[in-house]
Amino acid sequence: MSDTLHFVNARLVCPAAGERDGDLVFRGGVIVDEIAADGATVVDCGGRLLAPGIVDLGVGAIDRAACRAGGIVRVAPMPDQSPVLDEPGAVQRLALIGRPDLWIHPIAAATRGLKGADLAEMAICRSAGAAAVGTGRRWIADSGVMHRVLSYARDLDIAVVSHAEDGGLVADAVATEGETASRLGLPAAPALAEPLAIARDLMLAEETGARLHLRCVTTAAGFALVRAAKARGVRVTCGITPAHLLLSDIAMSDFRTFAHVSPPLRSEADRRAALAALADGTIDVIASGHDPRGPEEKRLPYADATAGSADAATVLALALGLARDGHVTLARLFDLLARAPAAVLGLATGTLAPGMPGDVILVDPHAPWRIVSDHLPGQAGNTPFDGLPVQGRVLRMWKGGREIAG
């Protein structure tokens, strides 16, 4: 079989070059600057979208079936794995297990055991394959420790991925303070927990000159802080999940544990602020937030259920809805899904430019389907979007020029 692929009759969507009708050629697993290729294997795209494969930043678990369904070719798992990714052996093992179908770029623990006290061996973990370091599902409360983490990461030129919620305020809360939490009688924390943590992390990032990625920003006050910091030149990026863009805390009504996510769902005003931050460029990354949980963790009283949702298989369809509704262009959407998360991780991928890896997905953006939790591929189907009709399916996927079977 030829090592050259020639995609014809495609609607190309590139974060760098925009949208156009045309052809794309791979040779040796790399995109090349050619219009035609003699002897190549021809793939007729039928006018459908050909776009960069998704780079999913900050997943809770490696879930190959869900990633394949969602158009995800690379994942960056959080350091809260078993064992915790705080030593090079664990990082290296995880970085190698997915290839060649799914490339894994671990986020190593910033502190030993993710306890927020002693720094982990970040340099050695980076040499073992870590693409970033992170605080995991918790915030580092000790400002001195966080200052050392950021300083060390700056010297390594590696991003720090922070979960920005003040643990002193959050404690055992499972919801955001407001009418819904009060009506349901749930332990709740003020939304202020997020901007308080963000403000501290931004000040330390500005002082150290480190690269800071706020994994999931969800409040109007948080977006305002990030927007202002970017204007000052702070090296900060931030992400969000489709759940926080499309759902408010009303989704928790009737104690729906599938809507128990971390950070918790916010008010409708915060959700609208998130859409505005998406439109004005404050938000850099859309990630699935994939953290599958089985019935033994979800079929419990809301306060006892484990936070997390299984959304790798649905992230593309939900994101395409944002483009159809006019919140972003398709080129900008794939910047959020592919190029920007790759840049945070220091990876040369995420566009259709010559020289980039042949990581692409062929998408029918109009294919209708319904999200049904019991039928989602992967480890679990605990999605807050259960029952939602959506449009957009991945038809075929290539990783490094090699097609990945569905």
Query: How many separate helices (H) and strands (E) can be counted in the chain?
Result: 14, 19
pLDDT tens digits along 346-378: 999 999 999 999 999 999 999 999 999 999 999
Contact (Cβ atoms closer than 8 angstroms) between residue 398 and residue 358: yes
Contact (Cβ atoms closer than 8 angstroms) between residue 370 and residue 388: yes
Question: Residue 20's CB: how many other CB atoms inside 10 A?
Answer: 12
Q: Which CATH superfamily groups domain 52-392?
A: Metal-dependent hydrolases (3.20.20.140)
Residue 156's pLDDT band (cuts 50, 70, 90): very high
Q: Give the start-to-end residue ranges of the domains of the chain.
A: 52-392
The amino acid that residue 254 corresponds to is D
Find, among 103, 105, 130, the residue nearest to 400 by Cα.
103
Question: pLDDT at residue 161 above 60?
Answer: yes
Rounded to an integer, what distance in angstroms lies between the CA atom of residue 360 and that of residue 375?
A: 25
Q: What pLDDT sits at residue 3?
A: 85
Question: pLDDT at residue 406 above 80?
Answer: no
Q: What pLDDT sits at residue 37?
A: 66
Three-state DSSP class for 402?
A: strand
DSSP label of 127: H
Contact (Cβ atoms closer than 8 angstroms) between residue 194 and residue 219: yes
pLDDT tens digits along 247-258: 999 999 999 999
pLDDT tens digits along 50-104: 999 999 999 999 999 999 999 999 999 999 999 999 999 999 999 998 788 899 9
Please give the share of the chain, as a percent, with pLDDT higher than 70.
99
Sign of the CA dihedral 136, 141, 145, 148?
positive
- Which secondary structure element, helix H or strand E, spans residue 243, and what is its range? helix 242-246
- Which secondary structure element, helix H or strand E, spans residue 126, and what is its range? helix 122-127
Question: pLDDT at residue 36 above 80?
Answer: no
Locate all alpha helices (DSSP H) within 25-99, ordered by sequence.
64-70, 88-97
Cα dihedral 319/320/322/323 (nearest 10): 140
Q: Which two tokens stand for residue 262?
A: 């971390």
Please give the share of the chain, as a percent, with pLDDT higher than 90.
95
314: Cβ–Cβ under 8 A, 6 or more apart, which residues? 70, 242, 288, 371, 376, 383, 385, 390
DSSP label of 336: I
Question: pLDDT at residue 128 above 90?
Answer: yes
Rounded to an integer, what distance in angstroms lies between the CA atom of residue 262 and that of residue 248?
A: 13
Residue 1's pLDDT band (cuts 50, 70, 90): low
Q: Which two tokens stand for residue 116?
A: 């927020």
- CA angle, residues 330, 336, 339, in degrees to nearest 5: 100
pTM (2 decimals)?
0.96
